[in-house]
Amino acid sequence: MMRFLLPLVAFVILVIFLGVGLTLNPRQVPSPLVDKPAPAFRLQQLYDTSKTLSSEENLGKVWMLNVWASWCVACRDEHPILVELSKLGIVPIYGLNYKDQRDTAMQWLKQFGNPYEMSIVDADGKVGIDYGVYGVPETYVIDKQGIIRYKHIGPVTVESLKNKILPLIQELKG
Amino acid sequence: MMKRLIHTQISSLKHYLMVLILSFMSLQGYAATEAVPVAEDLELEKRLVDLAENLRCLVCQNESLAASRADFANDMRREIREQMRMNKSDEEIVEFLVARYGDFILFNPPFKSTTWLLWFGPFTLFLGGGAALIFYLRRRRIQINEKDSPLTESQRLRAESLIKEINKD
């Protein structure tokens, strides 16, 4: 009896491990930036190129930084959700237009709607490197003290908003 | 009829020619965007490759930053190149990358409390397996010894008589 039971138990354990492994998303790499100060930047605005935005100007408010690009296909998936979120007026969303062309970026926002309080331009991806961006879209929640409290890799979904992002924002605002 | 055939052939020929020209044009365009700046400083480039070989491309996760053709890897190589030009040491550059992308960017994981399982796991499994093997072999030997118990009196007499019988022949 024992002689069959032992390999069977070992096999079941192996199957459980492999099964869990299949459900993991290798793209969800934990960011070392969570709970650290958001890297400082001063970037040109997308619409008014004569103006800039620096990260310090957002101190004192809870805000979201959404990394997007017109060439990014997955950004189209999450875009309607961001547009809806912006209508609720709960949290200002700032867009980091990552390695994009200015005219196609503006065309894209015209076509799909503009959920952003402001979009800023990271043409060569330098600020993206500071923020550890490797897969667009990525979304950061930054608190009043300028600390990154959450990073979402890939398109924001309704579930992630409901379960994680919105409760966190309420908590940070409170 | 013939004329028409020739005409369609010419128009299809035109079509092919167009495709050919367009594909050449696109090829040229491709070449233009792909022309990575040729290494101006061979020594620096070698140092870059040596370092980047041990760093993971986070987009195509089983490739190194040195080998990957992903846009991300390109940016990373550019960043590392710039930092090397600013006379930063390899350690400083790795620190810079780990601070932004985490330990995951290293192919060679650092030795710390969160990676103990990774470092000790295989050895623990090996030692555990070895201990189980020794335990099993010992128990088996004891079992065999127990089976080797001396014959009972009747068995012994029967064996003796058999041996005698064989010796008689």
Q: Residues B58, A44, A169, A75: what is their CA dihedral angle, to the nearest 10 degrees?
A: -50
The answer on pLDDT for B3 being more than 60 is no
Query: CA of A128, closest CA in chain B: separation in Å?
Result: 10
* pLDDT, tens only, A98-157: 999 999 999 999 999 999 999 999 998 889 999 999 888 999 999 999 999 999 988 999
What pLDDT sits at residue B9? 59
Percent of chain A at pLDDT exceeding 90: 79
Tell me how many residue pairs between chain A and chain B have CB atoms under 8 A apart. Answer: 34
For B86, B132, B141, the CA distances from B146, given in Å and listed in that order, are 76, 21, 9
Which is more confident, B12 or B67?
B67
pLDDT recorded at residue B25: 59
Q: Do A29 and B101 touch (CB under 8 A)?
A: yes
Sign of CA dihedral A125, A127, A129, A131: negative
Q: Which residue has the tokens 């890939």?
A: A154
Q: Which of residues 94-153 of B touch A (CB under 8 A)?
A: 98-104
For residue B21, what pLDDT is reported?
Answer: 65
Q: Record the pTM.
A: 0.71
Report the alpha-carbon distance of residue B91 to residue B96 in Å, rounded.
9
Question: pLDDT digit string (tens) for B50-91?
Answer: 999 999 988 888 889 988 888 889 889 999 999 999 999 999
Tokens of B106: 């290293």
The predicted pLDDT at position B109 comes to 84
Q: How far is B59 from chain A (nearest CA, A)?
A: 6
Residue-wise pLDDT tens digits, A36-67: 999 999 999 999 989 999 999 999 999 999 99
pLDDT at A62: 94
pLDDT of A174 strictly over 90: no
Phi, psi (deg, nearest 5) at residue B141 = -65, -40
Q: Which helix (H) or strand (E) holds A42?
A: strand A42-44
Q: What is the distance in angstroms between the Cα of B150 and the nearest Cα belonging to chain A?
A: 29
Query: In whole numbers, what is the pLDDT of chain B averaged over residues?
Result: 81
Q: What is the mean pLDDT of residues B110-119?
A: 86
Tokens in use for A130?
Answer: 């500071």
Closest CA to A81 of A15, A137, A19: A137
